Amino acid sequence: MEDSVFTKIIKGEVPCHKVFEDEFCMVFLDIHPLTEGHALVVAKKQIEFVWDLPDEDYQAIMKTAKRVALKLREVIGTQYVSERIVGVDVPHAHVQLIPFNDPSELSKQQDMESEPDHEALASLAKKLSF
């Protein structure tokens, strides 16, 4: 199986703005965030669907997602954090965490064309890291 972009990030072949890493997953900021703090909790095992992960990996990802969501609310100051498992953008099990205050923020489209603000992402990743 060809490595997904997430596997390449986990291997260090593609740079990222890392927030957390353990034996089961890695958390990094989306370079084209829907909202400030849009983070991805990615399984270290390249398995396409979250539901196909071994129970231990699934539970670790969900536990990490909760920790990151709480940290996002604290650092970003939003009232809510959306948790999405979509699975069609990258064929690699992951959870998206998207901070927001108004539900309309979740219906926006990601701007995939603009150049990422790596300085702002690096600064935010540092504040969110644990």
Q: Is 38 a catalytic residue?
A: no
- Strands (DSSP E) along the chain, which ranges? 18-21, 25-29, 39-43, 80-84, 94-100
Count the helices and strands in the chain (H runs, E runs): 3, 5
The helix-helix angle for 118-128 and 55-76 (nearest 10°) equals 110
Look at residues 89, 6, 14, 84 and name the one whose alpha carbon lies nearest to residue 43: 6
The catalytic position among 17, 38, 94, 118 is 94
Q: How far is CA 34 from the centre of its chain?
A: 11
What are the residue numbers of the active site?
94
